[in-house]
């Protein structure tokens, strides 16, 4: 027991619990974004292209997907955002997916089919997953519109993830 309730105690060195360090890091961690507009085909699911990295602590993001590095299995949280750029009034559907090993594990959508007046629109999706080494995570988009595209920029189309401390 150190100190009394309400005391402030400064610890120099590593705080341990039964010989193991207390705390941890949320790595691997990454944030990538679209640095140029991506042209899309209406009615076709496409992998979102991320051309720039804000950070990638373990160099685990490449070719538009995150792959769990050796020794880093565990629980992860991912967030993806997609903002469409379409002719005003022509957006009828916009779906965003997070996939694990090629299969959808989370999705969100906006649907303007009943009023046919959708314009540029953004959606965000967050999920938590239990991953094994070599599992890979991607973001995919499905859009129905005239001349659909994705905006570019770190605030519009991004994908971020990190391992949870366990």
pLDDT in tens, 77-117: 999 999 988 877 788 889 999 999 999 999 999 888 776 66
pTM of the prediction? 0.83
With bands split at pLDDT 50, 70 and 90, how would you rate the model's confidence at 124?
very high
Three-state secondary structure of the chain: CCCCCCCCCCCCCCCEECCEECCCCCCCEEEEECCCCEECCCCEEEECCCCEEEEECCCCEECCEEECCCCCCEEEEEEEEEEEECCCCCECEEEEEEEECCEEEEEEEEECCCCCCECCCEEEEEEEEEECCCCEEEEEEEEECCCCEECCCCCCCEEEEEECCC
Encode pLDDT of 2-30 as tens digits. Answer: 667 777 777 776 666 666 666 678 899 99
């Amino acid at each position: 027991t150190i100190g009394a309730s309400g005391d402030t105690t400064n610890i120099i060195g590593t705080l341990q619990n039964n010989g193991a360090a207390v705390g941890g890091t949320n790595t691997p961690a990454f944030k990538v974004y679209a640095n140029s507009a991506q042209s899309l085909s209406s009615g076709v699911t496409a992998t979102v292209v991320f051309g720039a990295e804000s950070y990638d602590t373990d160099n685990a993001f490449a070719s538009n997907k995150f792959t769990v590095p050796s020794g880093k299995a565990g629980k992860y949280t991912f967030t993806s955002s997609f903002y469409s750029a379409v002719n005003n009034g022509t957006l009828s559907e916009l779906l965003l997916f997070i996939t694990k090993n090629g299969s959808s594990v989370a999705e969100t959508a906006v649907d303007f089919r009943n009023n046919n007046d959708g314009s540029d629109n953004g959606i965000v999706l967050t999920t938590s997953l239990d991953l094994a080494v070599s599992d890979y995570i991607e973001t995919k988009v499905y859009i129905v519109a005239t001349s659909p595209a994705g905006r570019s920029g770190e605030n519009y189309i991004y994908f971020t993830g990190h391992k949870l401390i366990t």
